[in-house]
Amino acid sequence: KQEVTQIPAALSVPEGENLVLNCSFTDSAIYNLQWFRQDPGKGLTSLLLIQSSQREQTSGRLNASLDKSSGRSTLYIAASQPGDSATYLCAVGAQKLVFGQGTRLTINP
């Protein structure tokens, strides 16, 4: 059974810092890995999707990497801004997504 873990559970950093969020999964036979953003009381916004054959994806200040052999993915956020404050979730799967617990990120002005 696939299990997804995200570390840390919460992170607070000053504005402008670069930061890394971690995601690990137990079964390397994944189809896709996705990173989502969730604002309080809201649904999910898809940030990046990495196919199993890919190593990384980039969108603006965000870069996500995937290492299937070690069962890990990282989400790198450059030059963080207060508007980046949210919970970040990673999920693996093709249709039925298995989610991690999320990392609650706070960017302090």
Partner 1 sequence: GAVVSQHPSWVICKSGTSVKIECRSLDFQATTMFWYRQFPKQSLMLMATSNEGSKATYEQGVEKDKFLINHASLTLSTLTVTSAHPEDSSFYICSALDRPYSNQPQHFGDGTRLSIL
The residues that touch partner 1, with contacts defined as CB under 8 A, are 31-32, 34, 36, 41-46, 49, 51, 89, 91, 94-102
Closest approach of partner 1 to the CB of residue 93, in Å: 9
CB of 91 to partner 1, least distance (A): 8
Name which of 3 and 17 has its Cβ closer to partner 1. Answer: 3
Residue with tokens 């960017």: 107
Residue indicated by tokens 């030059």 = 79
Q: CA 51, 91, 59, 45 torsion: positive or negative? A: positive
Q: Which is nearer to partner 1, 69 or 95 (CB)?
A: 95
Task: Name residue, tokens 């999320």.
Answer: 102
Q: Considering the complex, state which of residue 77 and residue 91 has its C-beta at the smaller distance from partner 1.
A: 91
Residue 9's φ and ψ, nearest 5 degrees, are: -75, -30
Nearest distance from C-beta of residue 40 to partner 1, angstroms: 11
Contact present, 6 and 100 (Cβ < 8 Å): yes
